Structure 1
Amino acid sequence: MEGTVFTPSLEGMQHIRSPQGEMLTKPFLDVCKLILPVIDKFGTAMALVKRDIGRNTSRLEKKYQSDPFRYNFLYNMVKEEYECKSAKGSTSCTNGILWLTRAMDFIVELFHNLLAHPDWSVTDACTDAYGKTLRKFHGWIASSSFTVAMKLAPDRKKFMEVITCKGDVRADMEKFCLTFPPYLEENHKFLLEVSFFGCYFASAIIESLSSSINSGIIT
């Protein structure tokens, strides 16, 4: 069966976890980037979201590429930053993972709205998704910018025609909405836990990992 615009992301999700079930950095970031061509179809309405996703994936990729072995697991970046007390900085990888996850929450909710409400315009779907995800984290300026941008969303019929050039796009959109959220929920859960326990939590994990590596348990 011929693939759809969602096929690359769906295939990428199969590689997000290690055999032990841990979140792998590069595959997770790849999935986030692979959905960008779909976001492009929304035009100017999604420019701000696309910029945020691109900026945060670039930040995390740069960190990963500095030491692929050390940062093979996504959460190692967070643990290290809590150990160094730099996790709360605006340019930290912890902050990057948080905002990337929030942006992807919005994208998932938007696609869900398009599936669940065939009578809604794309602007309606965007506005509702924004209200349920990103809006509570934005200040007045950011919120106003998003509100204006979403009014520039394309006509629903034309948008669906553009992304339905091949394959069963509705089925793949639904699969994306079902398959990707668990990874996002895991990110939120981990970030909440590490924020609560702070550097003591991170330090204990890093010490445990180092001990395992030194003893040959982890190779």
Structure 2
Amino acid sequence: MKKGEGKEMEKKWSDIRLATEELSLVNPEEKNISTLAFLGVSNLVLQVLDKIGPSMLVLRQDIQRNIERVEELYLSDPTLYSSLVDILKEEAEGSIRKTESCTKAVVWLTRSIDFGVTLLGKLEKDPSSSLEQAVEEAYKNTLKPWHGWISSAAYKVALKLVPEREIFISLLMGEGQDYGALKEDIMKLVTMLQPLLDETYTLLRTYRLDRLKST
């Protein structure tokens, strides 16, 4: 391979394929969910929302704030907070339900990841659905049950502003990638993400956080 050829090939990869490569480095035998892996997946959701555009700004801002909250705690002591269970244990006494708690950030990031996985899965499985339909279904099944009426109303407006499916798909694809390759990447990513998502929900149920709603 010529010098620089590898970097040029990487530039043609979609964000979806890059994410699957990163996730493949996570040890599947690891019992505790890595904080870094969780943050990496959360950032992928941001990248997907960026492709949808400004209509998803409210959700994007929420995810960004929650990522920053968890990152700040992790960076304060990477060894102590190397896994999500470490974070939940740390805040289990008293501060776990405060607005500024990292635990609450983990709860909402988990639901946001669920939204992203559901959205990508819908697009991959149902090529006839519009992006508006896919976003609406993903929101209804993942975030809406936990939102108050103000947030729900904001998303109802946002749904009317999402771009056409074809535009979104073209933005998801890397340079030189075809739709068939993108579908394979999405299928692989969803398959890799689902176990992590299931484990995180199990952890939240253990600490009785899975029913936490927004105020």
What TM-score range do you get, normalising by the shorter chain? 0.7 to 0.9
Amino acid at match of 1:148: V
Q: Distance in 2 between matches of 1:166 and 1:88?
A: 46
Cα distance change on mapping 1:15 and 1:74 into 2, 3 Å = farther
Q: Distance in 2 between matches of 1:17 and 1:191?
A: 21
Does 2:184 align with 1:171?
A: yes
Conserved 8 A contact 1:39-1:50:
yes
Amino acid at match of 2:202: K
Q: Distance in 2 between matches of 1:34 and 1:129?
A: 16
Equivalent of residue 67 in structure 1, options 77, 80, 84: 77
Q: Distance in 2 between matches of 1:19 and 1:187?
A: 15
- Cα deviation, residue 121, structure 1: 1.0
Does 2:45 align with 1:32?
A: no
Which residue does 1:13 correspond to in 2?
23
Conserved 8 A contact 2:56-2:158:
yes
Q: Distance in 1 between matches of 2:18 and 2:24?
A: 10
- Cα deviation, residue 48, structure 1: 2.0
Does 2:142 align with 1:133?
A: yes
Amino acid at match of 1:190: L
Query: Percent identity of the aligned residues?
Result: 34
Cα distance change on mapping 1:15 and 1:155 into 2, 3 Å = same
- Cα deviation, residue 18, structure 1: 7.6
Which of 102-111 and 84-93 deviates more?
A: 84-93
- Cα deviation, residue 19, structure 1: 5.7
Conserved 8 A contact 1:16-1:27:
yes
TM-score normalised according to structure 2 size: 0.84
Conserved 8 A contact 1:17-1:24:
no
Conserved 8 A contact 1:6-1:35:
no
Structure 1 unaligned regions, length at least 5: 197-219
Which residue does 1:211 correspond to in 2?
none
- Cα deviation, residue 112, structure 1: 1.2
Cα distance change on mapping 1:34 and 1:127 into 2, 3 Å = closer
- Cα deviation, residue 14, structure 1: 2.6
> Which secondary structure state, in structure 2, belongs to the residue aligned with residue 65 of structure 1?
helix
Deviation track 1:70-120 (CA, whole Å, cap 9, x = no partner) reads 1112210101111x3211112111111100000111111111111122111
How many residues of Structure 1 are paired with residues of Structure 2 in the alignment? 195
Rg comparison, structure with higher value:
1
Structure 2 unaligned regions, length at least 5: 1-8, 210-215
Which of 180-189 and 36-45 deviates more?
A: 36-45
The CA RMSD measured in Å over matched residues stands at 1.9
Conserved 8 A contact 2:45-2:116:
no
Conserved 8 A contact 2:118-2:138:
yes
Q: Distance in 2 between matches of 1:17 and 1:93?
A: 24
Amino acid at match of 2:59: V
Which of 2-11 and 183-192 deviates more?
A: 2-11
Does 2:129 align with 1:120?
A: yes
Amino acid at match of 1:47: L
Q: Distance in 2 between matches of 1:162 and 1:88?
A: 38
Which of 3-12 and 107-116 deviates more?
A: 3-12
- Cα deviation, residue 160, structure 1: 1.5
